[in-house]
């Protein structure tokens, strides 16, 4: 790039030097012609001698254009009408920088001899040459500058613009399209470095994705493996609780059992979200009777605080295991955050069976309702004093979507969760 600019400056300097030399030679070559006084005097005598017969017009001044005016200003002779156009008197001739010679004979005024100033004519020719040379020089300089600008646009600005667009695409995560190298690209190494950076970023992103995948697989594996010992602890607690007679010991065993149940819920949430990220949170829907809902509610109502209205008889198209997970999350949240009686009501809404589960707790802020189904989000009032992962409602909402249903949150004199279960 530096060499290109050096060549352009050298070329411009040569053009300017040649222009100065050419203009100097043109100016030095200027030599204005002098009036041939001897020839003019001879011609004046000839005019005087032949004035009366008019034969003086047959003799001309050598290499000189002239005009003869009569005493009344009339044109008696003109060698070049175009040159002497508009000349009708000696005053007109003087105004046009011409010489006037009076023609007299023994005191009698015969007329005037008008001759152009040869120096003016030569000067005008010189100015015309200088103007032509200057115009040619300016044209050459303009063409050279335009050519250089085109060269800069093609070989500097365009490659930089492409690299800018390439950097923007890389910033947006588009790492598959390479940066093309053009022939004679003066930024070849720079461009190649950009493309190497893209390749390294793509490889780094692939490694990052692979590590995240392994991390999710590890979380899923650990969550699954930990559920077995947690289930074993819960069974042992139930056995000890049945055999223990001391009230204090039975209370401690009850506390341990509740903690294992909370751990089991958290592990289930972690396992579900890990499986979802891995694309393995599968739902297999089948047609089942609505009577299954009573069994699912009874299974998760461990504190016996649930009251259900009459269940309509219908056929649902659901995944029973996944719906059990959803209902378990909802009832578990009510126990954890409200710990009040729970009402379950049913109804029909278009092509769905509407199942509403409502407790009588404080509920949540209205602006928080749309956020509760976001991953890892926990309500402000609940997050401070209760343990949880913020995954239960998120997983439940995702499972309902996969079953072609819907989960709706609301405040109705407490906290309510509405499940829209698709009818077969």
For residue 1, is pLDDT > 60? Answer: no
CA pair distance 74, 69, nearest whole angstrom: 5
User: 3-class DSSP state for residue 4?
Assistant: helix
Q: Are residues 79 and 136 in the same domain?
A: no
For residue 200, give the CATH number of its domain.
Answer: 1.10.287
Are 111 and 224 within one domain?
Answer: no
> Which of 97-111, 178-192, 363-377 is least confident?
178-192
> Which has the closest alpha carbon to 424: 356, 351, 349?
351
pLDDT at 345: 94
Shared domain check, 411 and 341:
yes
Range in 199-203, 304-308, 326-330 with the lowest mean pLDDT:
199-203
CA angle 315, 316, 320 (to 5 degrees): 125
Range of the domain at 23: 2-29+122-165
Rounded alpha-carbon distances, angstroms, from residue 96 to 37, 88, 90, 214, 375 = 20, 11, 10, 101, 98
Q: Evaluate whether residue 52 is within a structural domain.
A: yes
Query: Which stretch of 25-29, 103-107, 315-319, 361-365 has the lowest confidence by average pLDDT?
Result: 25-29
Same domain? For 292 and 277 the reply is: no
User: Looking at 281, 312, 333, which one is the last position of a domain?
Assistant: 281
In a domain, 172, yes or no: no
State which of 253, 281, 309 marks the end of a domain.
281
Bigger pLDDT: 77 or 163? Answer: 77
Q: Do 333 and 274 fall into the same domain?
A: no
Whether residue 358 is contained in a domain is answered as: yes
pLDDT at 182: 60
Asked if residue 130 and residue 6 are part of one domain, the reply reads yes
**Domain match, 194 and 262 both:** yes
pLDDT digits (tens, 9 = 90+) for 322-332: 898 899 889 98
Question: Does residue 170 form part of some domain?
Answer: no
Same domain, 84 and 158: no
Residue 173 lies in a domain: no
Give CA–CA dist 396/273, Å, rounded: 10
Domain count, the chain: 4
Last residue of a domain, one of 281, 296, 320: 281
Q: Is residue 355 part of a domain?
A: yes
Q: Is residue 171 part of a domain?
A: no
Indicate whether 294 and 395 sit together in one domain: yes
- 353 confidence band (pLDDT: 50, 70, 90): very high
Judge if 275 and 287 occupy the same domain. no
CB distance 273 to 391 below 8 Å: yes
Summarize the confidence of residues 384-390 as an average pLDDT.
62
Contacts of 295 (CB under 8 A, 6+ apart): none
Per-residue model confidence as pLDDT tens digits over 130-169? 888 888 888 888 888 888 888 777 777 777 777 777 777 7
Residue 403: its pLDDT value, please?
92
DSSP H helical segments within 54-153, as ranges? 90-95, 118-152
Residue appearing with tokens 């309500």: 379
In the prediction, which pLDDT does 308 show? Answer: 92
Residue 188 shares a structural domain with residue 326: no
pLDDT at 199: 78
Tell me, yes or no, whether 297 and 404 share the same domain: yes
Whether 244 is in a domain gets the answer yes
What are the Cα distances from residue 205, in Å, to 170, 173, 174?
Answer: 12, 9, 11
Q: What is the CATH classification number for the domain harbouring 417?
A: 3.30.565.10
């Amino acid at each position: 790039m530096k060499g290109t600019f050096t060549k352009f400056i050298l070329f411009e300097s040569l053009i300017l030097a040649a222009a100065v030399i050419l203009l100097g030679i043109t100016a030095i070559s200027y030599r204005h012609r002098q009036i041939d006084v001897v020839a003019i005097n001879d011609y004046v005598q000839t005019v005087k001698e032949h004035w009366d017969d008019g034969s003086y017009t047959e003799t001309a001044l050598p290499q000189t254009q002239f005009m003869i005016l009569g005493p009344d200003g009339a044109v008696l002779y003109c060698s070049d009408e175009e040159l002497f156009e508009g000349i009708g008197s000696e005053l007109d001739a003087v105004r046009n920088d011409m010489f006037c010679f009076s023609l007299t004979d023994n005191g009698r005024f015969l007329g005037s001899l008008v001759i152009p100033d040869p120096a003016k004519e030569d000067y005008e020719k010189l100015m015309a040459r200088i103007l032509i040379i200057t115009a040619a020089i300016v044209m050459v300089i303009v063409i050279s500058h335009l050519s250089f600008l085109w060269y800069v646009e093609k070989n500097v600005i365009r490659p930089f613009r492409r690299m800018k667009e390439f950097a923007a695409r890389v910033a947006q995560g588009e790492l598959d399209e390479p940066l093309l190298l053009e022939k004679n690209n003066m930024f070849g190494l720079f461009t190649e470095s950009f493309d190497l950076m893209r390749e390294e970023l793509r490889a780094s992103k692939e490694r990052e994705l692979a590590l995240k995948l392994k991390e999710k697989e590890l979380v899923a594996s650990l969550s699954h493996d930990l559920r077995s010992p947690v289930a074993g602890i819960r069974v042992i607690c139930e056995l000890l609780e049945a055999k223990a007679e001391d009230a204090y010991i039975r209370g401690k065993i009850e506390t341990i059992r509740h903690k294992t149940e909370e751990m089991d819920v958290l592990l289930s949430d972690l396992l579900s979200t890990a499986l979802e990220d891995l694309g393995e949170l599968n739902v297999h829907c089948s047609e089942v009777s609505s009577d299954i809902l009573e069994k699912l509610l009874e299974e998760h109502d461990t504190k016996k605080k649930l009251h259900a209205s009459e269940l309509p008889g219908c056929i649902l198209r659901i995944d029973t295991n996944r719906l059990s997970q959803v209902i378990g999350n909802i009832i578990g949240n009510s126990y954890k955050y409200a710990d009040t009686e729970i009402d379950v009501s049913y109804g029909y809404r278009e092509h769905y069976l509407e199942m509403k589960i409502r407790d009588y707790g404080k509920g949540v802020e209205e602006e928080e309702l749309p956020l509760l189904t976001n991953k890892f989000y926990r309500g402000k009032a609940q997050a401070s004093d209760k343990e949880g992962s913020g995954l239960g409602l998120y997983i439940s909402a995702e499972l309902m979507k996969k079953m072609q249903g819907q989960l709706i949150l609301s405040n109705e004199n407490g906290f309510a969760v509405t499940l829209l279960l698709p009818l077969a």
